[in-house]
Amino acid sequence: MSRLRIHLEPVGAMRTELEVGRLQRARHRSRPLLTGCGSYRHGLATAETGPAGLWLGCRDAEDARQAAALARQALATLAPLHGLLGGRARDQVGVEGCGVRIESPFPPYLVHRILDSVKALPEDPETPDTVEFVEYSGPEAIAAFERGDLQATAPTCFEIARDCATDARFRPYQLEIFALLLIGPRLPDHRSIVRGRRLLCDRLAADPALAGTLTVAEAGDTPEPAERAAERKAELYYADFWPNVAIVQALGAGLGELNRTVRPHPVPLGELHSRTSTGAFDLALVLANGYAGPWLSMPLTLARSAALTQPATVLEPLRVALAEALAGPEDGPAWVAVTAAALRRVSAVPLGRLRGGSLVDPALPDHPPAYGCVLPLEHYAGGCHA
């Protein structure tokens, strides 16, 4: 196969085509390293775990320098957790000939998950000369796939996961992407919304538009009784793409039962990030991809948020929970306690986990490319046309 054509989603309905192209290229080049894809084995390095961290074996010194730079970017997401744990030794990334040594106070499994796209060097002689990324909406991508113009669609196109889940060519993925309702710091009655988590999750579960797309989170909370005082109003910010629109509509119904009237406010993705990082919002729906792999994304996402937004004086329970989790196994029960401790300090309501998948050409191996999500495009011999 001399060429792979892989679908990318345009990011944000408000963006022009030129802006989308620039954003996609920037996103690819800033992601950690490179994912693997069955017999098509591309990448900058092989990864070997050790007691002190990871060793990345690269093809040559230039690849090692680039792998080190990308590793530093990816590991920077752990910086707030270093501070939370009391200024422990920082991650050390050093180039040694054709390899990269990563030493970290965090356990090797966590470092490896942060660099979860480290895979093997190219070996297969049928490595495609060119990987071409093309931008389509969900329906356009399905039509292009049927015409044979695409070999794979984007796994984060949840419209395809919704509409094509029964297709024999559809391959599901367990994506570490969570739907969170963030509650602004200036909302005086934010605890009533947090306590209404069960009601909000029930409304999501009952929405037929979200069936098969969102695995609703378990919620043990009871709804806050609606007050009879004057109705409270707030703006709910979200990025305007599927399935956010359906989630926002279901949330609006649930929040109404909590005596909270919301005005949906779609914004470009960049503005949403800006507002949520500065606190300039009442309510915001975000899709949060965590900072590690399965079962770690939610606790690490919430712990990082707490460390960035809360004073250290109130984070001692979270610090203890995180230290215990890091001292235990990757799938240990202590990580559940980290999530619980973080939620006591972060005004957020975990709504559920999104399920995604792709239409994939049957000629591709069982583990196909990750469709541009973590591909540094300049490493393909034939170049890239995104």
List the CATH number of the domain containing 349: 3.10.105.10
Instruction: Tell me the C-alpha distance between 178 and 290, whole Å.
Output: 8
**Domain match, 126 and 225 both:** no
The DSSP output letter for 220 is -
The pLDDT, as a whole number, for residue 232 is 76
65 within some domain? no
Q: Is the distance from CB of 321 to CB of 334 less than 8 angstroms?
A: yes
Structural domain count, the chain: 2
Contact between 64 and 100 under an 8 Å Cβ cutoff? The reply is yes
Residues 273 and 257 in one domain: yes
Q: What is the DSSP string of 251-312?
A: HHHHHHHTTEEEEEEEE-HHHHHHHHHHT--SEEEEEEE-SSSTTTHHHHHHHHHHHHHS-G
Q: 187 lies in a domain?
A: yes
Note the pLDDT tens digit of each residue in 74-86: 787 788 899 899 8
Match 């040559």 to its residue by tokens.
Answer: 60
Tell me the C-alpha distance between 222 and 58, whole Å. 53
Q: Is residue 12 part of a domain?
A: yes
Q: Are strands 348-354 and 177-183 parallel, antiparallel or unpaired?
A: antiparallel
Domain membership flag for residue 55: no
Q: Is 280 found in the same domain as 200?
A: yes
Helix %, strand %, coil % of the chain (to 5) = 35, 20, 40
Same domain flag for 213 and 159: no
* 93 located within any domain: no
Whether residues 214 and 337 share a domain: the answer is: yes
Closest to 348 measured CA to CA, from 155, 233, 168, 197: 197
pLDDT at 133: 67
The answer on 230 and 125 residing in a single domain is: no
Same domain for 340 and 263, yes or no, is yes
Q: Same domain, yes or no, for 306 and 161?
A: no
Which residues in the chain land under pLDDT 50? 1, 12-42, 117-125, 228-229, 367-386
Q: Which two tokens stand for residue 385?
A: 């046309």
Is there a domain that residue 370 lies in? yes
Q: Are residues 9 and 123 in the same domain?
A: yes
Cα separation of 292 and 298, whole Å? 9
Helices (H), 291-372: 297-309, 316-327, 334-343
- Does 303 reside within a domain? yes
Same domain as 201, residue 164: no
- Domain with 316, as residue range(s), is 177-354
Q: Considering the domain boundaries, does residue 157 fall inside one?
A: yes
Residues 263, 289, single domain; the answer is yes
Are residue 158 and residue 294 in the same domain, yes or no?
Answer: no
> What distance in Å separates the CA atoms of residue 72 and residue 55, rounded to the nearest whole number?
14
Choose among 152, 209, 235, 216: nearest CA to 178.
216
